[in-house]
Amino acid sequence: MSERAAIIGARLLDPASGLDTTGGVLVEQGKIADCGPRLFADGPPADALVLDARGRCLTAGLVDMRVLFGEPGAEHKETFESGTLAAAAGGVTSLACLPNTQPCIDDPAMVEFIARRARQARRVKVYPYGALTKGCDGRQLAELALLREAGAVGFTDGDRAIADSLVMRRAMAYASMLGCRLIQHPEDPALARGGVMNDGAIAARLGLAGIPAEAEVIMVERDLRLAEATGALYHAAHVSTAAAVAALRQAKARGLPVSCDTAPHYFALNELEVEGYRTFAKVSPPLRSELDRQAIVEGLADGTIDAIASDHRPQDQDSKRLPFAQAEFGVVGVETLLAISLELVHRGHLTLLQLLDRLSRKPAELLGLPAGQLRPGAAADLVLFDPDQPGRIRPEDLHSLSRNTAFEGRPCQGRVLWTMVDGRIIYDAGRQRPI
């Protein structure tokens, strides 16, 4: 690709500045040199590669703050090659990967390994979390300062909650001194133990052990108390219940520096998806009641929920084609993140700028990443998409090694056309093979 590129005829969208206008973007040496509504009034530069957006939406690439790859340790589920290609196909240009791999990311060498593998893949930008405790076992704190120095953007034990209150308080105090965000999987392990879906009438009818909604809010409320005591930057991941949203809303009203995210399956699906013992709907935390789903939508609309993350957790066929109780938790989601999230716009819950704020600017801000803004000087990490193009989610069309999507066969409205990172197009929907 040319050192200079002129993107013309685009609908420019930037939630950081409120920009929503027709215009163009000039890309030079991997950065946005200029952008605006009258940029190419006299025509694009003669030496630039011209990319005609034809009125489609152009915005900063999405920032996904919750992705788990199989590599290292479970490369048959997802590699950096397949995972970053799936991210690019979904319009994601920056992502934070969870540390609960095999081995887990609990020492600086593993942080450096992740950075090296991301460079080798040469697609999207990958930022590793550091494990909060050694081995992600919730008992002994990892060397957080060394992990931070090596490049960790936050600390978490991934899909494992820190159940010990003393360990959590120490972790918060330590992370607070480092000025780094602590991300918790908010689920009381004792209440959730043995559960495989949301507790309630449907679980009873199917004969499946339930995980009560109280398991989430009890952990959130404990953590909020500890965050208030330590001043920690606390983040509750994949919030799924009305009670947890209410608790976080109240904490924010008190001025606590807390935040949270949710995933598309928690605002687009409910526990009815488990009917027929459908293991592709088995996630952690589980799909909740319709009232909980509506509360998640409300939390996104009023800003209580700061960000939308894919919660991408690939599982191979052998892990999912099992009786429901034995099947693994998790779905792929990085590639369908934008398409499903656009339902919030089409149904009138969010404006397009509000949605992009929760998909790009806000997660970048929470993790301190140089991303999520369409402005001169920023890296040319861009996504062009058509918010109205109809389609249907089909597992065979996905780029992940694993195809365990909860949205199989679901009609959608919105498609990524191409994705650019540092001025280089890394995914083009019009091509028949990966770039």
Strand segments, DSSP code E, in 92-136 are 92-97, 125-128, 130-131
Residue count (the chain): 435
Q: Specify whether the CB–CB gap between 376 and 25 falls below 8 A.
A: no
Q: Pick from 373, 380, 352, 359: which is nearest to 25 by CA?
A: 380
Q: Specify whether the CB–CB gap between 380 and 27 falls below 8 A.
A: yes
Q: To 5 degrees, how large is the angle CA 47–CA 50–CA 53?
A: 160
Give me 117's structure tokens: 């593998």
d(C-alpha 321, C-alpha 325), whole Å = 11
Residue 32 Cα distances to 59, 95, 123, 287, angstroms: 12, 20, 18, 40
Q: Pick from 161, 156, 374, 344: which is nearest to 263 by CA?
A: 344
Angle between helices 214-230 and 165-178 (to 10 degrees): 50
H/E run at residue 85: helix 80-89
d(C-alpha 157, C-alpha 130), whole Å = 8
Looking up tokens 């704020």, which residue turns up? Answer: 357
Q: Pick from 262, 241, 119, 146: which is nearest to 192 by CA?
A: 241
Give me 182's structure tokens: 């602590």
Residues in CB range of 350: below 8 A, 6 or more apart: 300, 301, 344, 358
Residue 343 Cα distances to 51, 241, 390, angstroms: 28, 20, 12
d(C-alpha 147, C-alpha 143), whole Å = 6
Catalytic residues, which ones?
Answer: 311
Q: Pick from 232, 245, 256: which is nearest to 176 by CA?
A: 232
Q: Give the single-character DSSP code of 397.
A: G
Q: Specify whether the CB–CB gap between 387 and 405 falls below 8 A.
A: no
Q: Pick from 304, 297, 295, 269: which is nearest to 283 by CA?
A: 269
